[in-house]
Amino acid sequence: MISFKEFNEKIRRKILYIHENAEPNIPVMGLFGLVGFPLFHIVWAYIFPQKFESLELRLLIAVLSIPWFLHDHLPQRLKPLFPLYLLLSIWVMIPFFFCFMLLKNEWSIVWTMSTIAGLFLMILLLNDWRLITLLTISAYLTASLSVWLIDGHIGFAHFQLEYIPIIAFGIVGSIIFSHRTQIANQTKISLLHSLGGSIAHEMRNPLNTIVNAMGSLQSILPDKPRTKNVEQQYTLSRSGLISLHNVLEENTETVLRANKIIDSILLSMQGRSVDPASFKKNSVKNSIFNAVSSFSYSSQDDRQLILVNSENDFDFFGDKDLFIYVLFNLLKNALYYKDKPGFRIVISTGKRKTGNTVTVRDTGPGIAAKNIERIFDSFFTSGKKEGVGLGLAFCKRVINSFGGEITCRSKEHEWTEFTIKLPRYDSPESEQLKRQVLQTKNILVVDDNQANRLIASKYLAEWNCRITQAENGAQAISLLSKKKFDLVLMDVEMPVMKGDEATRRIRSGALQSSFNSRDIPIVGISALPEHEIRRKTLGAGMNGFIPKPISKNALQRIVEQYFFTEQTPAALYSTETALEGTSILVVDDNLTSRKYLGAILERMGANVSQAENGQEAIACLERKDYDVVLLDMEMPVLNGLETARKIRDGSCFARFKSFRDIPIIALTGNTEDNDIALTRESGMNAHLGKPVSREELLKTLSFWLAK
């Protein structure tokens, strides 16, 4: 049974909701009432005279319209009262007034049409069929009583039965369409609220991790200087320096993981499936350890509530960060009930022939049997007040994208158990996913022997890879200048240009291309003795080698290594003074971003200038020559796209002559294909997604500066 207090609160929220929906139109309706009601007195009293007309009543309505008209300028103390005033005044202004005039004019055609028009306005304004029905019926009854008290009778001289279906059809139809529009708008708003809530919720964990990391950095660094002595020196131990770099690397990875989660949530909200392009071979034991150790606990005691039993380690094919996100969600949901006596969470793994499993079991309050079937539905929550109901739905989408499934069992008041079933790494499901990934991979096979090229291409084609062939190193360089490849199989001994010589040219960054081919994995192929192949291939900068004749197993190992295995590539650039003497212009309206990029670039030896927007950037280029421009996309005054177009046009410069050639690199958080295409169309050379890593920044700058 609902209490009076709860009923009162429900009514209050309803009134506020109605006011919120009507708010954009309130001043306009106020102006309409203030001017329209007196003006129409002239129309119905003198131009098209009616049986009954009342200037006094119209002036009263006009007075009631004044607060509507002044809605945006009402004193702060009166604004909380306006939602209630809105309902009371609209009842007088529309249904009562029009019903009263309709009855006083004995249902004339003019006032029948006017009443229908007035009710349509109210329907558009209020968007609540129950309230509209209540206001209309009560207003008609009150108007009828008023007319009977004034005249002693109610006249129907002009009333026709045909009016009833017409009025009913118009009003009911308007209410239905208005209600459907309202539901659609509420759904959109709910989606936006849920999306915002979900992203904000998922950001708390990485942000808390970063906050903790800042505390770690402060504990490692010497105390902040409190004197003005600029000569004072500070020392940092070797272990302290290593710890600093470890903390920074871990938190860079945390931020990149958070960005991936946000991108995945946005794709999920658009109804698109998880992209398998980032899927790799992962150890479930390592993934569970990373999730449990990096989860942002509200207190140290929370970590002690989790027991991990991962003796049955196994590999799965999927995205490590998304899998960790799934575990984060399950931990977060379970820890909500940590205050229950005897609460525990047990994470365990199992290996079976039909598929491997990860089980997360907690001793919380359990889930009611009627809710188990709906637990993975979007926007469904059970037992939590602040949940938006997207976490488990997205978890299911992620696990399904790995070819697995997630299920839930529970005993109310005792326990809940989530079981994640993942295909074995060598299962048909995982192989199918690999083929799906390999469909997007471009592989260049370079060999002067056609038979060797055909054999390698045949094996690679069986895995759905896209193959291009070249007869020598010169052809390979020409192809790499025009097209982006994911892997090169390079014969070492060839006429025209040998494979090792071609590799050196590729690694030098001398290719005239819009693609950065400097880091592409290159695997040498040769019939030479192993020690000589090793010397030639690794000396030239190749990543590895396979002997001739090429075998299917050897190629399969290469594909596994470079497409499906997490690996740290060998550094191809020196991080010491890598950009020595270069001049770089950083354009970004965010001061923190400019300082961050400036610090990184200056440590690499670059001379850095800064600009807050595109207009300042153009002025900087006119004053001084730069080697490259890093250009943010979203800026006031002149955004990135407009700035790039103006630079390439060159008409804004009198001194600066390199406007067509200077490399311009876009910096933006939008990494969709359409956004990248827009940067290219505007004349930019490359695109880096924020937050940009130090390595990616260095590789991109080295490539374009070499050109």
Report pLDDT digits (tens) over 131-160: 888 898 999 999 999 999 999 999 888 888
Average predicted confidence (pLDDT) for the chain: 82
The rounded distance, in Å, linking the Cα atoms of 703 and 513 is 10
pLDDT of residue 121: 82
Cβ atoms 664, 647 nearer than 8 A: yes
Comparing 239 with 606, which gets the higher pLDDT? 606
Predicted confidence at residue 52, as pLDDT, reads: 93
pTM value > 0.75: no
Does an H or E element contain 306, and which? Answer: strand 306-309
Q: Can you read off the two tokens belonging to residue 56?
A: 């006094």
Q: Letter for the amino acid at 252?
A: T
At 99, is the pLDDT very low, low, confident or very high (cuts 50, 70, 90)?
very high
Average pLDDT over residues 680-707: 79
| Cβ-contact 700, 516 below 8 angstroms | yes
Q: Is the pLDDT of residue 572 over 70?
A: no
What is the model's pLDDT at position 571?
Answer: 38
Range in 18-32, 230-244, 476-490 with the lowest mean pLDDT? 230-244
Q: Cβ distance 86 to 19 under 8 Å? A: yes
Lowest mean pLDDT among 83-92, 201-210, 557-566, 615-624: 201-210
Go through the chain and tell me how many residues it has: 707
CA distances from 201 to 259, 374, 425, 582 (A): 13, 21, 32, 42
Give the mean model confidence (pLDDT) for residues 548-552: 88
Three-class secondary structure assignment of 610-673: EECCHHHHHHHHHHCCCCEEEEECCCCCCCHHHHHHHHHHCCCCCCCCCCCCCCEEEEECCCCH
What are the residues whose beta carbons fall under 8 Å from the beta carbon of 459, sequence distance 6 or more? 550, 552, 555, 556
3-state secondary structure 453-498: HHHHHHHHHHCCCEEEEECCHHHHHHHHHHCCCCEEEEECCCCCCC
Higher per-residue pLDDT: 207 or 437? 437
**Is the pLDDT at 110 greater than 80, yes or no?**
yes
Is residue 343 within 8 A of residue 320, CB to CB? The reply is no
Write down the pLDDT at residue 694: 74
Q: At residue 453, does pLDDT exceed 80? A: yes
Residue that wins the pLDDT comparison between 54 and 531: 54
**DSSP string covering 695-706:** HHHHHHHHHHHH
With bands split at pLDDT 50, 70 and 90, how would you rate the model's confidence at 380? low
Residue 576 has pLDDT above 50, yes or no: no
Query: Pick from 310, 307, 291, 315: which is nearest to 350 by CA?
Result: 310
What local confidence, expressed as pLDDT, does residue 646 receive? 93
- Is the pLDDT confidence value at 359 over 90? yes
Region of poorest pLDDT, from 179-193, 618-632, 643-657: 179-193
Domains in the chain with CATH codes: 9-160 (no CATH), 276-426 (3.30.565.10), 441-563 (3.40.50.2300), 583-706 (3.40.50.2300)
pLDDT greater than 80 at residue 253: no
Give the relative orientation of helices 97-104 and 129-151 as an angle to the nearest 10 degrees.
40
CB atoms within 10 A of CB 524: 25
In degrees, rounded to 5, the angle at the alpha carbon of residue 681 between the alpha carbons of residues 680 and 683 is 70
pLDDT band at 475 (very low <50, low <70, confident <90, very high): very high
CA distance 223 to 88: 65
Confidence of residue 701 (pLDDT cuts 50, 70, 90): confident
Top-confidence residue, 395 or 243 = 395
Q: Dump pLDDT digits (tens) for 319-354.
A: 888 898 889 888 988 888 888 888 999 999 998 877
Say whether the peptide bond before residue 365 is cis (omega within 30 degrees of 0). no
* Residue 533: per-residue pLDDT: 83
Name the residue with higher pLDDT: 163 or 80. 80
Q: What is the mean pLDDT of the segment spanning 571-600?
A: 74
Least confident span in 7-11, 383-387, 486-490: 383-387
Q: What is the pLDDT of residue 177?
A: 63
Q: End-to-end CA distance of the chain, in Å?
A: 77
Q: Report the share of the chain in percent with pLDDT over 90.
A: 31
pLDDT digits (tens, 9 = 90+) for 392-422: 887 888 899 899 999 999 888 889 999 999 9
Phi-psi category of residue 605: left, alpha or beta, with phi > 0 → left and psi -120 to 50 → alpha: left
Q: What is the pLDDT of residue 270?
A: 55
SS3 assignment, position 218:
helix
Alpha-carbon distance 119 to 132, whole Å? 9
Concatenated DSSP letters for 37-93? HHHHHHIIIIIS--S---HHHHHHHHHHHHHHHTGGG--TTTGGGHHHHHHHHHHII
For residue 615, give every residue at least 6 positions away whose Cβ sits within 8 Å of its Cβ, in sequence order, or none: 637, 638, 643
Q: Which residue has the higher pLDDT, 407 or 271?
A: 407
- Give the per-residue pLDDT at 574: 41
**Amino acid (one-letter) located at 147:** V
Cis bond upstream, residue 27 (ω within 30): no
Per-residue pLDDT of 188-232, as tens digits, reads 555 555 555 555 555 655 666 666 666 666 666 776 666 666 666
Residue-level pLDDT at 480 = 87
Q: How far is CA 624 from CA 65, 102, 281, 613, 621, in A?
A: 62, 78, 49, 17, 5
Confidence of residue 6 (pLDDT cuts 50, 70, 90): low
Structure tokens at 475: 């052809």
Contact 459, 434 (CB under 8 A): no
pLDDT at 304 over 80: yes
Q: Residue 180 is which amino acid?
A: R
Tally the C-alpha atoms within 13 A of residue 195's C-alpha that lie toward its C-beta.
16
Dist CA 366 CA 344 (whole Å):
13
The fraction of the chain above a pLDDT of 70, given in percent, is 80
Instruction: List the structure tokens of 347.
Output: 């994470």
Reported as a single tens digit per residue, the pLDDT across 518-548 is: 778 999 998 888 888 888 887 788 888 888 8
pLDDT at 78 over 80: yes
Is residue 522 within a helix (H) or strand (E), and if so which, with residue range? Answer: strand 522-526
Q: Three-state secondary structure along 326-351?
A: HHHHHHHHHHCCCCCCCCCEEEEEEC
Complete DSSP assignment for 279-299? -EEEEHHHHHHHHHHHS--SS
Task: Identify the burial level of 156 via C-beta atoms within 10 angstroms of its C-beta, where 0-12 means exposed, 13-18 middle and 19 or more buried.
Answer: exposed
Residue 169: the pLDDT is 76
